[in-house]
């Protein structure tokens, strides 16, 4: 188990997360900090994936209009 900060789950390895994994027998561990992530793959663009009918030019035009009203 990984923690997200020094105070998060401070005593979990003494209270709950202790002993052996019931499936593999490996010792359970609490590791301070987050695990190193994998590189984000560079996928091709998928037009209209999340906003059907709005292309990139429409999006930028709408964004510009919204920003001008702020």
CA-CA-CA-CA torsion for 26, 10, 4, 18, nearest 10 degrees? 10
Which pLDDT score, from 0 to 100, does residue 24 have? 92
Which pLDDT score, from 0 to 100, does residue 47 have? 65
Greater pLDDT, 54 or 57: 57
Helix (H, G, I), strand (E, B) or coil at 66: helix
Greater pLDDT, 8 or 19: 19
Which pLDDT score, from 0 to 100, does residue 31 have? 76
pLDDT 10s digits, 16-56: 777 888 899 998 887 777 778 878 888 887 766 666 677 88
């Amino acid at each position: 188990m990984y923690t997200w900060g020094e105070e998060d789950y401070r005593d979990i390895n003494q209270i709950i997360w202790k002993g052996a994994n019931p499936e593999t027998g490996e010792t359970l561990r609490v590791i301070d900090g987050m695990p190193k992530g994998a590189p984000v793959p560079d996928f091709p663009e998928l037009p209209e994936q999340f906003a059907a009918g709005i292309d990139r030019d429409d999006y930028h035009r709408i964004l510009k209009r919204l920003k001008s009203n702020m």
